[in-house]
Structure 1
Amino acid sequence: MRTRTLSLVAMLAAVLAGCSSTPARIAAVPEVDVPRFMGDWYVIAHIPSWPERNAYDAVETYAVREDGRIQTTFRFRDGGFDQPLRTMSPVGTVREEGNGAIWDMQFVWPIQAEYVIVDLDDGYTRTIIGRSKRDYVWLMARQPVMSEADYQASVRRIAELGYDVSKLRVVPHGGTKPD
């Protein structure tokens, strides 16, 4: 009886493990020239994290620190163009295995969030940042506006990556970079 019970428990565990919905690791671009990626990126659209759910004028700025990590400054206005500027300053660590395209982003020690450059145009003017969980995504550009054709192509790419694009939010920009 004990053997039969253990076998039944083992079979049930195997079935439940097979039903697990662990998302496939999201594919990064083959290589990123990290120094070239540095600078300002306007968030054009996103599936936002909680703090940025009502972001206006959202700009992410990257700079390589002396220790090789990436100092990030995320500036935005919460809820409207007339709201005060808010800032978050996570630090990124570029993983060796990603050829510059896979980072760990740390907002609070010791927690690091996955940050993957999943799409990047040859001119380093448009990018998509994703996560394997497909919970958040960021479409960013070097300018606060993007052509409709580029935007639609980016939305198609986001869908191909496994995201529910009905959750995308376009980030309003007032046309200038927040100070």
Structure 2
Amino acid sequence: MKRLIPLLVALFSTACAGSLKGQHERAPLDTVDHVDLERYTGTWYEISHYPQRFQRNCTGTTATYELRPDGQINVINRCRKRSLDGRLATAKGRARVVDPATNAKLEVSFFRPFWGDYWIIDLGPDYEYAVVGHPTREYLWILSREPSMSPELYDAILERLRDQGYDTDRLVKTLQAKTE
């Protein structure tokens, strides 16, 4: 056992150093200059995302944001499980601004007391799309006010994401219901 502990410590230290190495080689993640939270509220359709355990089997995913009287934001995420006709799953949380100079850096909590970074890194001039990332670049969502996005806009967003150090090959498109 005495020989096993140093081995485990060495393996853990190597794993941590390897994961931090990529962080030091990358430039810091840029956010948008300013977010008008009132314009940002409402419903967004998920266009694509990095796969995450908590979104497994989700389709038709939406996020709805509502300003609260205390300055925080209600967050309601919904998706259909396995198909667009599947069971509706809902997760409710809240967000708080951590950078009031820009309102672009927020934290979101679905399981208090745990908070996760939610950074708005790209935003349409008319708030028609938004891109949400994380400083580690392990999380990424492309959102739209409509359930679909033009290929030209999507490709332009992907180019800006690559410039920010994101691996756009990891993105998975989200199935959304067609609108008439």
Tell me the TM-score range normalised by the shorter chain: 0.7 to 0.9
**Structure-2 separation of matches of 1:30 and 1:131:** 16
Question: Equivalent of 2:159, from 156, 159, 162?
Answer: 156
**Structure-1 separation of matches of 2:37 and 2:124:** 14
- Structure 1 residues 20 and 174, CA gap change in structure 2 (3 angstroms): closer
Instruction: Give the alignment's Cα RMSD to 1 decimal.
Output: 2.1
TM-score, normalization by structure 2: 0.83
**SS at the partner of 1:157?**
helix
State the identity as a percent.
31
**Structure-1 separation of matches of 2:99 and 2:137:** 22
For residue 13 of structure 2, what is the aligned residue in structure 1? none
Output the amino acid matched with 1:170: K
Pair 1:107-2:110 in alignment: yes
**Structure-1 separation of matches of 2:78 and 2:34:** 27
Shift of 1:48: 2.9
What CA deviation, in whole Å up to 9, does each residue of 1:158-179 have, x standing for no partner? 2222111111000001126xxx
Q: Would you say how many aligned residue pairs link Structure 1 and Structure 2?
A: 162
Structure 2 residue runs of 5 or longer lacking an equivalent are: 1-15
For residue 140 of structure 2, what is the aligned residue in structure 1? 137
Q: Which moved more, 1:158-167 or 1:69-78?
A: 158-167
Structure 1 residue runs of 5 or longer lacking an equivalent are: 1-15
For residue 41 of structure 1, what is the aligned residue in structure 2? 44
For residue 72 of structure 2, what is the aligned residue in structure 1? 69
Pair 1:53-2:53 in alignment: no
Question: Equivalent of 2:172, from 128, 152, 169?
Answer: 169
**Structure-2 separation of matches of 1:61 and 1:25:** 28
- Structure 1 residues 107 and 151, CA gap change in structure 2 (3 angstroms): same
Question: Equivalent of 1:93, from 84, 93, 96?
Answer: 96
**Structure-2 separation of matches of 1:49 and 1:99:** 27
